[in-house]
Amino acid sequence: MNRKLMEILACPIDKHFPLELIELTAKEEIISEGTIFCSKCSRYYPIIEEIPIMLPDELRDKNQDIEFLNKYKTTLPEKIITKGAPWHL
């Protein structure tokens, strides 16, 4: 995902803007792995293989979210691990 995309992204749930970007893996302006966090509703949206996955709860892949959280649980902020998804570790 290009970092500049953050200038136009809003939360799909509550339309909050701006969102917080947490970079885990990046090269120049491209974020390969990371999260987008909405401070209003406390949801996170993973960035996996450069693609931001910004879906409402009912369309999210629970297994993919849990795998992502487990992979980065020592790197992600506590607010994402404990509050950021419809399901928690």
pTM over cut 0.85: yes
Structural domain count of the chain: 1
Which pLDDT tens digit goes with each residue over 37-66? 999 999 999 999 999 999 988 899 999 998
Contact status, residue 26 vs residue 34, Cβ threshold 8 Å: yes
Q: Which two tokens stand for residue 36?
A: 């987008």
Provide the domain limits for residue 39: 3-83
pLDDT single digits (tens) 13-46: 999 999 999 999 999 999 999 999 999 999 999 9
Q: What is the CA radius of gyration of the chain?
A: 12
Query: Which has the closest alpha carbon to 19: 1, 27, 64?
Result: 1
- pLDDT at residue 88 greater than cutoff 70: no
User: Is 88 part of any domain?
Assistant: no
Asked whether residue 21 is domain-assigned, the answer is: yes
Examine residue 45 and state whether it is found in any structural domain, yes or no.
Answer: yes
Is 89 inside a domain boundary?
Answer: no
The yes-or-no verdict on residue 87 having pLDDT over 70 is no
Q: Where are the beta strands (DSSP E) in the chain?
A: 20-27, 30-37, 44-48, 51-52
Looking at residue 76, what is its pLDDT? 93
Q: Is residue 61 part of a domain?
A: yes
